[in-house]
Amino acid sequence: MNIRKKITSIFQKKDKSLREISAAIDIPKSTIFHNFHQIKKRQLEAGTDFWDTDFGYNFLIRLVISTVYIFAVRSGFGAGTLKHFFEMLNIGSHVAISETTILKIIRQIEKLILQYKDIKAKEIKFKVKEIELILGVDETWFDKMLLVCQELQSGFIFMEESAEDRSAATWDKHIKKTFVLSK
């Protein structure tokens, strides 16, 4: 049983003293006392006792991770903006919402995404021996010239590289950097 569940179970044992509860679940009496007052303080805010239930706690975890993923990892919002958002939701008394904690969550999510990518890449390499591609190359100009290499059947863009010229030597250098060519 994790410490949160232990502490939550304390308040269901109203007939026992703090000392008896402390001995029964092996948590210092001062920790139990502190958490008891924190819960009472949180319950003064209307509707926040829901977050102390298992369902509410699991919902908060999903809310925080989903928010960090969508707004920080995918959309580029900073930890300060997310901290402000969580403060507006008034969940700071139930979950850690400091900028440092949010940055740690961002790093964990990014690390898990990269691990997932590596796992899937290994699966693909194991299953696929050789892929036949039909590539098309072209140049496009926005503020500078870009060399673009696209798989024509799927539309997947394999390469977008800025270049000073569009000579065969430049193309060859960028294509070799992007692909491992077999003979």
Distance of CA 127 to the CA centre of its chain: 28
Looking at this protein, which amino acid is placed at residue 71?
Answer: F
pLDDT for 63-105, tens place per residue? 999 999 999 999 999 999 999 999 888 888 778 889 999 999 9
Q: How confident is the model at residue 182 (pLDDT cuts 50, 70, 90)?
A: very low
What values do phi and psi take at 121, rounded to 5?
-65, -40
pLDDT for 137-171, tens place per residue? 788 877 788 888 888 888 888 888 888 887 888 87
In the predicted model, is pLDDT for residue 179 greater than 80?
A: no
Q: What pLDDT score does 108 carry?
A: 95
- Which H/E stretch holds residue 139? strand 135-141
Q: How far apart are CA 68 and CA 65, in angstroms?
A: 5
Looking at this protein, which amino acid is placed at residue 64?
Answer: V
Q: What pLDDT score does 176 carry?
A: 81
